[in-house]
């Protein structure tokens, strides 16, 4: 999509001034491509990997972690679950899946970590997920936003928003040279009688 965007843009720019009508059509196409890009992004963020529905949360996370570790050489990822006997519901599952994806991407991209510990604990009425790396960490401002984050991706902010959207909380603790820990707490109501 980006290639298409730049291609059309270059085409627009290279048109001679006289071809006003062609140029305006070209501009229209450009804004269509932009709109399309936004739509695609919105739609794909709604999508759930089919595996989540078919196999459930824990096997999907296990699979994702194994694939991720294969792709990123030299990174050992440990995954444990405690007390999670039932599935926490589709909304919570997708939030956790996306959180893990972004956290691991960040670890691969920024942390220089060798080990990661992922722990998923069900402690009524919450599901707690911690993702801890032994990498270089980063400086945080008082409200635990990384310095300079305005110029960077929306990863951590997006994570916080996702967690917030299901009534959960997220805490990030990171210090230079001391690694990073992300802790997410999500309220879950298991679909049991009397719950
Ligand atoms: N696990 C981590 N280890 C070290 N630094 C991290 C880690 N996670 C995030 N960061 C820092 O926080 C910044 C913001 O992360 P994020 O919001 O995901 O944006 P992006 O990944 O696009 O830079 C990163 O640029 C990086 O400096
Ligand atoms: Mg990121």
Q: Which atom of ligand 1 is nearest to the CA of 133?
A: 1
For residue range 9-49, list pLDDT tens digits in order: 999 999 999 999 999 999 999 999 999 988 886 676 556 77
**Under a CB-based contact definition with an 8 Å cutoff, are residues 33 and 4 in contact?**
yes
CA 176–ligand 1 middle distance (angstroms): 12
Q: Of 112 and 140, which is predicted with more confidence?
A: 112
Residue 6: domain span: 2-46
Examine the domain organization and report whether 35 and 76 are in the same domain: no
What is the pTM (predicted TM-score) of this model? 0.74
Residue 129 falls inside a structural domain: yes
Examine the domain organization and report whether 165 and 71 are in the same domain: yes
Q: Kindly report the number of other CB atoms within 10 A of residue 150's CB atom.
A: 9
Q: Of 105 and 195, which is predicted with more confidence?
A: 105
Q: Which atom of ligand 1 is nearest to the CA of 158?
A: 17
Residue 193 falls inside a structural domain: no
Q: Is 60 in the pocket of ligand 1 (CB under 6 A)?
A: no
Under DSSP, the state recorded for 170 is: E
């Amino acid at each position: 999509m980006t290639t298409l965007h730049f291609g059309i843009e270059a085409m627009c720019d290279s048109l001679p001034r006289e071809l006003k009508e062609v140029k305006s059509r070209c501009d229209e196409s450009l804004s269509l491509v932009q709109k399309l890009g936004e739509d695609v992004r919105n739609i794909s963020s709604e999508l759930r990997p089919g595996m989540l529905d078919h196999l459930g949360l824990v096997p999907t996370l296990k699979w994702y972690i194994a694939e991720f570790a294969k792709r990123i050489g030299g990174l050992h990822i440990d995954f444990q679950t405690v007390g999670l006997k039932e599935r926490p519901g589709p909304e919570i599952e997708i939030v956790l899946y996306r959180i893990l994806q972004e956290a691991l991407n960040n670890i691969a991209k920024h942390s220089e970590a060798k080990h990661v510990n992922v722990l998923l604990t069900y402690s009524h009425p919450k599901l707690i997920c911690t993702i801890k790396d032994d990498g270089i960490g980063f400086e945080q401002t008082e409200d635990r936003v990384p310095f300079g984050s305005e110029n960077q991706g929306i990863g951590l902010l997006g994570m916080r928003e996702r967690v917030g959207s299901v009534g959960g909380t997220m805490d990030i603790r990171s210090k230079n040279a001391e690694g990073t820990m992300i802790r997410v707490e999500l309220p879950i109501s298991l679909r049991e009688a009397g719950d």
